[in-house]
Amino acid sequence: MGVLGVLLFFGAMTMPTLIGVMISSVPKELKYMASSFGALFYTVIGYLPAPVLYSLVCRLTGGNNSPYGMMFVLYTGTLGLLSVYITYNYKRKQG
Q: Would you state the pLDDT for residue 61? A: 93
Phi and psi at residue 66, in whole multiples of 5°?
Answer: -80, 130
Residue 56, pLDDT score? 92
- 63, 72 in Cβ contact below 8 A? no
Checking if the pLDDT of 80 tops 80, the result is no
* Predicted structure pTM score: 0.56
Residue 58 pLDDT exceeds 90: yes
